[in-house]
Amino acid sequence: MAKDTRTARGGEQPTQEDYYTQWRGQVVKCVFQDGKALQGTLVSWDPYALLLEQGSRPVVVYKGALKYMLPAGGAGSGEEG
């Protein structure tokens, strides 16, 4: 039987949910498949989309359009969009 690595608990690999929970309320950078980027505060998420806030404006980002996401100013942000 294969080892379950879907959870960060017990030293296993973190899940998307773990990252989203850690980044909630922080400014994140979303880089899209076409290389363009968007920054906003992560407010909430569901299985298909993220809700960011830019100032007082809500922005819905569909996860399928993302190449990657990281905290704004975080390591690995060398790829510009």
Convert the pLDDT of each residue in 26-69 to its tens digit: 999 999 999 999 999 999 999 999 999 999 999 999 999 999 99
Mean pLDDT value of segment 17-29: 96
**pLDDT confidence bin for 73, thresholds 50/70/90:** confident
Spatial distance between the Cα atoms of 33 and 20, rounded to a whole number of angstroms = 20
Contacts of 10 (CB under 8 A, 6+ apart): none
Spatial distance between the Cα atoms of 45 and 60, rounded to a whole number of angstroms = 9
Instruction: Enter the CATH code of domain 13-71.
Output: 2.30.30.100
pTM exceeds 0.85, yes or no = no
